[in-house]
Structure 1
Amino acid sequence: MAPYEPEQNTSETGELRVGRRKAARYVVPVAVAGVAAATIGLVPALATSGDPKLPDVTAQELIEKIAASDTEQLSGTVKISTDLGLPSFGGDMAGGLAQGGGSGGDDGGDEGSAADPQAKLMELATGTHTLRVAADGPDKQKLSVLDDAAEYSLIHNGDDVWAYDSKSNEVHHSKSAGKAGDSGKKDAPENLPEDVPSTPKELADEALKAVDDTTSVKVDGTAQVAGRDAYRLVIKPKQSGSTVGQITVAVDAKTGTPLKFTLSPSGGGSAVVDAGFTKVDFAKPEASTFDFTPPKGAKVTEGDDAKEFKGEASKGKEFKGGEDLNGLNVIGKGWNSIAELELPGGQGIPTGGSGDVPPDAQQLLDSLGDKVSGDFGSGTVFKTRLINALITEDGKVYAGAVTKDALVKAANAAS
């Protein structure tokens, strides 16, 4: 079906909020992407069938429909594929990252729990996974990651957040943070990043923050997702130099709920994120869906103190984003925005043979990085299919959803 309208700008829907967000948003995008993909908020993309005939709508009307959507009850099955061009984050690597996060157990040791969401949800940053999701308002959500011979479940019910890994028979328990805010929604569980969307509406809102005069937005026909009629909203950068090709959101024609989310890279090939419902039901889930009691014999780890990633470099202190960075600055605008900052100590990434990092970690760093040089000196560009980061030898960082050449150009201009 042909598009309903010519390409149009939608600047009033919001600007790309790059500002002084946590450096992890730029420097450790893999962790953010992994957890975001795992939350119930990423309700997303699936192969579609058929082009249903629906009443014509404009892009602005469809955006307003998403904004007005009040869907809080649903259940279904989601298939998600993530291809950032990175090594797998499954198993030991994900567990090691979580242990670096310092979640710890009852005894305060460093071993952590195999059920810790910080580790398990990181696995969704690579590969293809099947999830079961359910939600009943802001206080009840459940997500289960299905494996061939095991299942991992994350259950939020009131003040409690339970995570259970059937393979290891381990349970991780934590509390929801704080009281309900003005919107009536409680804060996210303490051991998950604050900036991760937690509902379908929030995910759509995050994507629409990029809509400004550097963006084109249009309704590009219709689709059918999980048996539901939907409109296809396409958000695309006008600027060259971005690694983002386009974002496509399939929006349920009846409820305005996003059913499909696909992020395609400008370099072509498979989608960076392609995830979505294979089945969906907007009826109220059974109350028992959100009940959980640790199985007999399961190891239970209390994670109430695990509020943030606490990497080894911070020696257990809470990372406080911009407060711990030197001169975080944003270069450019729109899709070509680049975060510029300085690493503590004025030193860049250790080079091979320095002995500053373990051999396996050095091998990983070298495999991800390209050596570059210019007026700024020399450094290494670490690549994914979406976010790239240039770290210079004198400890400056330039990062964004832009190409390697754009990072080098920004570093040269700033030197």
Structure 2
Amino acid sequence: MSRARQRWLPAFLICLAMGMAVLFGAVQAGASSSLPPKTADEVLAMVANTHVRALTGTVEQNAELGLPDIPTTGPGVAPGAASTLEFLTGSHTARVYLDAPAKARLQILDRMAERDLVVNGSDAWFYNSADNSATHLRAPSPSTGTSNWSLPPAAAHLEMPTPASMASRFLAAIDASTEVTVDSASTVADRSAYRLLLSPRTSGTLVDSVAIDVDSETGMPLGVEVRAKGQAEPAYSLAFTQVELRAPDAAIFEFTPPPGATVTEKAVPAAPAKSNPPPSPQATHGQHGAAATGEGWDAVVSLPAGTAPAGLMADPLLSQALQPVPGGHAVTTSLVSVLILDDGRVFAGMVPLERLQSAALQAAAPNQ
């Protein structure tokens, strides 16, 4: 898949399409503040040049995507199983500790349990208090010269769910399909911020706008708010409610499993050396045979037959979000649609379901 076609797929789209969890997010913007005027290019330059490398903060999520509430306990719900979808509904709070480039901790604080991701050098721990289970990953130490907010090899496949990481997905994708303006200044986590507004120049997407609150002092994104068309309140938001730009105590990144915890050890192989092979026709396809049709906000990503695992439709949690459609099942939200066909093909995009069904028919046409 070309980068131009996949870049408008934010974290929650990948989560829905691949069955991963969006961990948290929510914007808490206060009253407008008075700041010296800046152009959109000037605010974008602030973000690009931010040098914040350490912080301690509280982040809140609010997701109003139109999905049913996902139960976390009850018949058919295995311990930890709800984590795949529950973070796509309602509100969640988390504490975030970062000390780049090799230390990070995320504590998800729910009413009935706490979940932790702790990264310290070449070690990463995942802990769930609901079933007192821990997974330990170990990998070679990170190389020098690591950029802001990158993680060491033990958790290289992860991205800490902060406003900065969410904002980076949208900002990296700005092109002719997007109008970029500066909205009224705001206050987030008691810090004054410039608000960047990204508006799609197409009627084919479910997204109305994306607002990114940029700290006026450091250029660090403090919050991201995504609005759906025809919806008064934000459909998805992610922001700090409290933040201190200082390095956390080193002890925060030390983790020892509690007594009686079930511990699983996993080794992470070293990443292969990067190379620059010549371009080839396959370069327009992503991993696992992913392809795309369309550009920008109304692009549709498709995954080949057999992508959806067997027994997926029988999952008691996922079944509550799925609706039957001709030839398969679908998950529809105010921002994202996912079509799962009976042959295991998957189509996803920030578009109406009808757009996915049309793309599926076009993809099947050459084979008919």
Could you tell me whether the CA contact under 8 Å between 2:102 and 2:152 is conserved in 1? no
Query: Which SS does the other structure have where 1:29 is aligned?
Result: helix
Tell me what 1:338 maps to.
300
Alignment partner of 1:211 is 2:174: yes
Counterpart check, 1:135 vs 2:98: yes
Deviation, 1:344, is 3.5
CA distance in 2: counterparts of 1:121 and 1:357, whole angstroms:
16
2: distance between equivalents of 1:367 and 1:199? 26
**What corresponds to 1:82 in structure 2?**
63
1:398 matched to 2:347? The reply is yes
Q: Which whole-Å CA distance do the structure 2 matches of 1:382 and 1:126 have between them?
A: 13
Say whether 1:389 aligns with 2:338.
Answer: yes
Asked if the contact 1:17/1:209 (under 8 Å) is kept, the reply is no
TM (normalized to structure 2)? 0.78
In structure 1, give the amino acid aligned to 2:333: T
Alignment of 1:94-133 (within 5 A): 120=83, 123-133=86-96
User: Contact (CA 8 Å) 1:261, 1:275: kept in 2 or not?
Assistant: yes
**Secondary structure at the residue paired with 2:358?**
helix
What does residue 164 of structure 1 align with?
127
Q: 1: CA distance between counterparts of 2:352 and 2:173? A: 18
Q: Matches of 2:260 and 2:328 in 1, distance apart?
A: 51
Partner of 1:61 in structure 2? Answer: 42
Q: Which residue of 2 aligns with 1:409?
A: 358
Deviation at 1:392, TM superposition (A): 4.7
Deviates more, 1:209-218 or 1:122-131: 122-131
Specify the SS of the correspondent of 2:315.
Answer: helix
Contact 1:26 1:339 in 2 (8 A): no
Deviation at 1:59, TM superposition (A): 0.7
TM-score normalised by L of structure 1: 0.70
- 8 Å Cα contact 1:83/1:126 also seen in 2: yes
Q: Tell me which residue corresponds to 1:300.
A: 263
| Alignment of structure 1 residues 315-394 onto 2, 5 Å | 322=286, 324-325=288-289, 328-344=290-306, 357=311, 360-361=314-315, 364-365=318-319, 368-372=322-326, 378-392=327-341
Between 1:57-66 and 1:204-213, the stretch displaced more is: 204-213
SS at match of 1:91: coil
Q: Which runs of 5+ in 2 are unaligned?
A: 271-284
Identity across the alignment (%): 32
Q: Secondary structure at the match of 1:216?
A: strand
CA distance 1:132–1:391, change in 2 (3 Å): closer
Q: 1:358 to 1:289 in 2, by over 3 A?
A: closer
Q: Distance in 2 between matches of 1:263 and 1:25?
A: 13
Q: List per-residue Cα deviations over 1:187-229 (Å, max 9, x = no partner).
A: 4544x745x4666544322111331111111110111111100
Q: Provide Cα deviations, 1:266-312, integer angstroms capped at 9, x if missing partner.
A: 241543322222211102212222222223333322233699xxxxx
Matched AA of 2:350: A
Partner of 1:311: none
Q: Which runs of 5+ in 1 are unaligned?
A: 1-14, 39-43, 98-113, 308-320, 350-355, 373-377
> Residue deviations 1:98-118, cap 9 Å, x none?
xxxxxxxxxxxxxxxx68xx9
What's the C-alpha RMSD, in Å, of the aligned pairs? Answer: 3.7
Contact 1:85/1:384, CA 8 A, preserved across alignment: yes
Deviates most, 173-182 or 52-61: 173-182
1:111 is matched with none
Contact 1:248 1:263 in 2 (8 A): yes
Shift of 1:366: 8.0
Counterpart position of 2:279: none
| Count of residues in correspondence between the two structures | 342
**How far is the alpha carbon of 1:260 from its aligned partner?**
0.9
Separation (CA, whole Å) in 2 of partners of 1:285 and 1:358: 41
- The one-character-per-residue Cα deviations of 1:47-88 (angstroms, maximum 9, x if unpaired) are 322211100001111111111111111111111122333344
